[in-house]
Amino acid sequence: MCSETNPNIEEEKLFEHFAFKVDKGQGSVRIDRYLTDKIENLTRNRIQNVAKAGGVLVNGKPVKSNYKVKPLDEIKIVLPYAPYENLLVPENIPIDIVYEDEHLIVVNKPAGMVVHPGHGNYSGTLLNGLIHHFENLPQNADNRPGLVHRIDKDTTGLLVVAKTEKALTKLARQFADKTSTRKYVALVWGDLPQEHGTIEGNLGRNPKNRLQMMVFPEGDAGKHAVTHYKVLERFGYVTLIELQLETGRTHQIRAHMKYIGNPLFNDARYGGDKILKGTTFSKYKQFVENTFKVLPRQALHAQTLGFVHPATEQFVQFSSDIPTDMQQAIERWRNYAKHKKIQ
């Protein structure tokens, strides 16, 4: 039941769906506009309806959609159903299983597949497929069966899924303690000056674009994040690199690479879907635009995943091939660099 159809929302058991604390420097703005900027795929009209039903709370009290937010306000959206209870519908979705035993599954996620349901993505997710194929997966802290970690919708590659409570607990601890191994392959704009390096900088929501993460170099906001990289191959205007995560923040690689001036190739959210390096020749522009069509997403693949097996206590590691679309883009750049003089 949707909250906007229920005028007696305050009489039901409510579940918190979103919670925010307004920044100290936030200017005066209507709460419906503020929340539209904060929550991906949630329309202003939807927020207004929820507020009308009493589901938008500020400092514990319901407010109307025209309420002006104030610095340090504590905002919650509450609805009369648990955040995911109506979204977890089993669906017969093919899953590329790299490894499976009685304790865990390692899957290879394709581009375009969201890991778990959320606003704007209520079906067709990896989790919808998992609960169809596997019964009684353990619930993680966010009530998402089996999930230990996630990768972005248009990022491809490996994920581990727990099949038992013991496996979930032990795997989650490894990710929290940063003892798991996660290596990615990415194609980025520019010719990196060093063969290897480390990017360190707190990551938090961009206050001007809530759909982006950004680096707070002074460490005055966000969460600690560290990314290591090394160059695999240089193509002049773009570079193929390997990245290893020391932490696992949202959009960590994408935001860190933008921060050092080398956004991922064709990463629309972080500015990589424009010609950032190269010549002004029309043939070059056509080459890049055609390569964007070959790879219509960010050039990022979670290639290697390693962890201590929760039952055997032995370190195991898995790898997956770079997907066809990304491999084709790499080959195009390799051939371009080979036959053209890069200046």
Residues 165 and 291 in one domain: no
Is the CB of residue 115 less than 8 Å from the CB of residue 128? no
296 assigned to some structural domain: yes
Domains: count for the chain: 3
Mean pLDDT score across all residues of the chain: 89
Percent of the chain with pLDDT over 90: 68
Verify that 189 and 316 share a domain, yes or no: yes
pLDDT digits (tens, 9 = 90+) for 289-341: 999 999 999 999 999 999 999 999 999 999 999 999 999 999 999 999 988 75
Q: Which of 32, 73, 152, 325 is catalytic?
A: 152
Residue 322, pLDDT score: 98
**Are 188 and 335 within one domain?**
yes
On whether both 147 and 216 belong to a single domain, the answer is: no
Residue 23: CB atoms within 10 A of its CB come to 14
What pTM does this model have?
0.76
Please state, as a whole number, how many other Cβ atoms lie within 10 Å of the Cβ of residue 30.
17
Position 89 in a domain: no
Could you tell me the two tokens for 136? 């009684």
Say if residue 7's pLDDT is above 60.
Answer: no
Report whether 131 contacts 116 (CB < 8 A): no
% of the chain beyond a pLDDT of 70: 90
Give the mean pLDDT of 185-201. 96
What is the band of 4 on the pLDDT scale with cuts at 50, 70, 90?
very low
Indicate whether 69 and 153 sit together in one domain.
no
Query: The domain that contains 71 carries what CATH number?
Result: 3.10.290.10
In a shared domain, residues 74 and 198: no
- Decide if pLDDT at 10 tops 70: no
Instruction: Say whether 32 is catalytic.
Output: no
Quick: pLDDT tens for 35-78.
Answer: 888 876 567 888 898 888 888 999 989 999 999 999 999 998 88
Range of the domain at 69: 3-79
Q: Which of 151, 176, 201 is the last residue of a domain?
A: 176
CATH code, domain carrying 275: 3.30.2350.10
- Mean pLDDT throughout 266-281? 95
Q: Is residue 90, in this structure, part of any structural domain at all? A: no
Residue 85 placed within a domain: no
Residue 79 has pLDDT above 90, yes or no: no
